Structure 1
Amino acid sequence: MSFTGLRRSSFVSIAAIALLLPLIGCGDDKGKVSILLTDAPGDGIEKAVVTISSIYLQGGDDKGGRVVLRDEPVTVSLLDLANSTSELVSEAEVPDGQYHQLRFVISGGYLEARNADGTTSIYATTNNYEGLPAGAVVAGQLHMPSYDSSGLKVKFDETLTIEGEQKILLVDFDVAQSFGKQAGGSGRWVMSPVIKAAEVTASASVNVEVKLGTGVTLPTIEGKALTLADFQAVLINAEGTQERLSLTDANVDGTYEASFKFLFPGSFQVELAAPAGVAITTTPGQPVTFKLESGRDNTLTLVVSSALPQ
């Protein structure tokens, strides 16, 4: 079986699933677990919705040590969670012990994909999936192999040990890398999740600051005087997944900013995307390549040294 995968040309996300697991001592050799979900868009995917019927921790081996964190179904629109979170589990009690997997049992879902002609098509696990919008016409199948039985497995790099103390785990669901259209004209899409997991203390953020160089003015395009608010900061991870954020000047000091959150350690690039019809140069030059270290936030400053109409 072969697939034609989607890759983001602009990170429209990470996306990501982020799980915060605050384990607060509550006596009786137990902790408390809360789960927050985060994600961001994937290039060519307009909508990605899944119904999570249960969530559980798996300890020891596949046959034992299961602790159910949630057994009430919840339907989540993944792409609505860019740089934000949604609480899935609130303070579920978990016995002290060691756990090697977190699992999501996914009972259904759909995605809306953009076609080459600019239209969109919907692909769903079934034609009558309850999460479909009213009046939706299903063009093909979305296949989620075994996720409604054994569950989507999120493996930890290191065994998760619960001893009553607070722990926070971040799980990154990369939407752009996780859905692909099956080759051969079958019209079927397949969900093959690309997921990373680490304690949130190992995650970090990147703050991008952009300002105009001395004497630099932005051009007027089609009668509109541009500002840096018309530009976007672009973050690219090692897999080529991209996320774009618009710049804002919250302090009204002339320095525009964008903040990328819930990032795993690794290599990244940052670029500044100009509006159509504008060519720019920056100091330092683009792209800026850097390595994000565990638990450390980065601030990158780009100065626009020239901006000319094309």
Structure 2
Amino acid sequence: MKFQLLLPLAVVAALAFTGCSEDNDAQNQAKLEVRLTDAPGDFSRVSLDVQQIEVHLKDEADPAGWEKLNFTPQTLNILDYVNGRSALLVSTDFAPGDLKEIRLILGSNNTVTARDGEVYTLKTPSGQTSGVKLKLDKATLRAGETYQLLLDFDVAKSIVERGNWKPGNDKKERYLLKPVVRLVAQEITGGIYGQVTPAAALPQVLAIRSSLTPADTFSTNADATGAYRLQGLPSGTYRLEYFPTTTAPTNQPAYHSAVRTGVVVVNNQLTNVPTVGLAD
């Protein structure tokens, strides 16, 4: 199958895919997020059976360069993800380095539902074998940053009706799936910083973007002065949770957890959070 790729990439800012960094080793990792969005088409539903997502880390000619991402096979109605909405397919910690390509392996249960409610099978001969491959241009994952790959699926151009098909013919033969996908890569550089008291509580800080399912969670620990900073956060509204990791000395107020809601992160900006106290 021949795929039309609308490139070059727009490399703008770093990415996140659902995951939680729970130890210092995560500071040496990048975050990789893969999302799917759609340009509308004249159908009521388009179900895409995505079985596997891989990225290529080496020279294009090296077949050993493909690495599977942590993805749960699923069938998506891609018409649910239009007008700025997107499906979060992958969110994971990833080793820093260059990405060369991304590939979606499709299953056989791809269908399109017409406006009259009739369901037709989408034939995807190449998509089921070698996969839908998209090349990346200068996509570099850096430690401590988040990188997002947005797959912009164009339904109107991707679903092709056979010219000789007529009502009464085999429904499996009406439509072909020839994916037209625009690939947008961006670095995400938003962040949050602030101060926790007392510093002796050695608090852990979680930033949770709960508008996603499952929620997108990032974590860090405050330093010896109580200062903390979370970087590489995608734009959105976050809930911050603070947890002391030790107990207060005898005859001092007990340490307790705290929550701050409605913390807004904007790309390319750092959001300051007022000081949070963890002692009565």
- Verify: 1:21 aligned to 2:19, yes or no: no
How far the C-alpha of 1:46 sits from its partner, in A, is 1.4
Unaligned runs of 5+ in 2: 2-13, 189-266, 268-280
Q: CA contact under 8 A between 1:170 and 1:197: conserved in structure 2?
A: yes
- Verify: 1:173 aligned to 2:174, yes or no: no
- Verify: 1:197 aligned to 2:156, yes or no: no
CA distance in 1, matches of 2:50, 2:134: 14
CA distance in 2, matches of 1:57, 1:37: 15
The aligned residue for residue 31 of structure 1 is 30
The aligned residue for residue 163 of structure 1 is 142
CA distance in 1, matches of 2:66, 2:29: 14
Q: CA contact under 8 A between 1:101 and 1:153: conserved in structure 2?
A: yes
CA distance in 1, matches of 2:25, 2:157: 39
**Which structure has the larger Rg?**
2
Relative to the length of structure 1, the TM-score reads 0.46
In structure 2, what residue type is equivalent to 1:97? Answer: G
CA distance in 1, matches of 2:67, 2:29: 12
Higher mean alpha-carbon deviation, 186-195 vs 71-80, is at: 186-195
The residue correspondences of 1:205-224 to structure 2 (distance < 5 A) are none
Ranges of 4+ aligned residues in structure 1 off by more than 3 Å: 23-30
In structure 1, what residue type is equivalent to 2:120? Answer: Y
- 2:50 match: secondary structure: strand
In structure 2, what residue type is equivalent to 1:58? Answer: H
Unaligned runs of 5+ in 1: 2-19, 125-141, 203-294, 296-310
The aligned residue for residue 146 of structure 1 is 126
The aligned residue for residue 81 of structure 2 is 81
- 2:79 match: secondary structure: helix
The aligned residue for residue 93 of structure 1 is 93
| Identical-residue share of aligned pairs (%) | 29
The aligned residue for residue 264 of structure 1 is none
- Verify: 1:72 aligned to 2:51, yes or no: no
Q: CA contact under 8 A between 1:40 and 1:78: conserved in structure 2?
A: no
Q: What do residues 230-268 of structure 1 show as CA deviations (whole Å, max 9, x unaligned)?
A: xxxxxxxxxxxxxxxxxxxxxxxxxxxxxxxxxxxxxxx
Aligned CA distance change for structure 1 residues 172 and 100 (closer, same or farther; 3 Å):
same
CA distance in 2, matches of 1:73, 1:172: 19
- 1:70 match: secondary structure: coil
- Verify: 1:56 aligned to 2:36, yes or no: no
How far the C-alpha of 1:55 sits from its partner, in A, is 0.8
- Verify: 1:123 aligned to 2:120, yes or no: yes
How far the C-alpha of 1:27 sits from its partner, in A, is 4.7
What is the Cα-based RMSD across aligned positions, in Å? 2.9
Aligned CA distance change for structure 1 residues 179 and 27 (closer, same or farther; 3 Å):
same
In structure 2, what residue type is equivalent to 1:34? Answer: E
CA distance in 1, matches of 2:75, 2:126: 18
